[in-house]
Amino acid sequence: MILKDKSKRIPAIVIEFVNLIVSMAGFVPKHASLLRVLTFGASLVFSFYLTANYAGHSTLGIIYFIAGEIFYLGFIFLVLSKNGLRHWFIKYWKSEQEGYLAFEAILGIAFFHNAASLSFLASATPGHLFPFISREILLIIVILMTAAGFIIKIWSARIVSIDIYYWKDMFLGRKICEFVVTGPYKFLSNPMYGIGQLSAYSLAVWYQSEIGLAAAFINQCLVFTFYYTVEKKFINRVYLKK
C-alpha cells in the first residue's frame, strides 16, 4: 500500500519539477496564453538561429549580451523600484493581477534572453585560458559548476515559489508570503544571486572565453547591484520592518 501511494506521487513530482524548470527559463505554464507561447517560441527560434548561423561572431555576441543586460536589468530597475513603473502597469491593465501578468510575461522573455546572450557570447568568443588542464578534466569542472549552480537555483526557487522568483511581492509592494529562512536560505542570504550564478560561468569556462567570463561577472555584479539598491531595501521595509 505504501509503495502504491509513492508511485502515485511520482508523476505529480515530475510535473512540478518540469513546471519549475520551464518557469525559471522564462515561460510560466500556469499563466500560458497564445501571445506568451508565440513570444517565447519566437525567442527560442531566434536563439537557435543565432547559434546555427552566427557561431563565432564575437561582435554580434557582445551586442546581444549588452542588449540582454539592458533589457533584463533595465526592466527590473525601472519597474520594481519603490516608485517604479509597476504603478503604471497596474493602472494601464486596470488591476493588480492583470498588471502583474503583463509584467511577468515581459520579465520571462528578459530572463530567457539574459541567459541565452551569456551562452551565445561564451560560445562565440572561445579562447585558451586553461592550456594546462586537459579537456576531460575541464569537462568535469564544467559539469560540477553547472550542477551546483542549477541545484542551488532550482532548490531556492522551489523554496520561495515562482511568484517570488518573478518578484511578485515587489511588484505589488507588499509581502505575499512569510520571509524564508529554510533550505539554502539557512546558510546564504541570497543563494540564487551567488552560487546559483555558477551555471552562467560554466559555459565560459568550457569555451575558455575571457570575454564570456567577464560578461558573467558583469551580469552577476549588476544583479547584486539591483539586490542592494532595490530588493534589499524592499525586504527590510516590508518583511523585516526595518
**Unique residue bearing C-alpha cell 561582435:** 59
Q: Indicate the pTM of the whole model.
A: 0.91
**Unique residue bearing C-alpha cell 506568451:** 36
C-alpha angle 83/191/106, rounded to 5°? 45
Q: Is the pLDDT of residue 1 over 50?
A: no
Q: What's the whole-number mean pLDDT along residues 19-30?
A: 95
Nearest residue to 49 via CA among 148, 120, 115: 120
pLDDT 10s digits, 88-124: 999 999 999 999 999 999 999 999 999 999 999 999 9
What mean pLDDT is reported for the chain?
A: 92
Q: Which of 1-5, 21-25, 215-219 is predicted with the least confidence, judged by mean pLDDT?
A: 1-5
Q: Is the pLDDT of residue 188 over 90?
A: no
**Which residues are CB-contacts of 124 (< 8 A; sequence separation ≥ 6)?**
54, 55, 56, 57, 58, 60, 61
% of the chain at pLDDT higher than 70: 95
pLDDT (0 to 100) of residue 183: 83
Confidence of residue 2 (pLDDT cuts 50, 70, 90): very low
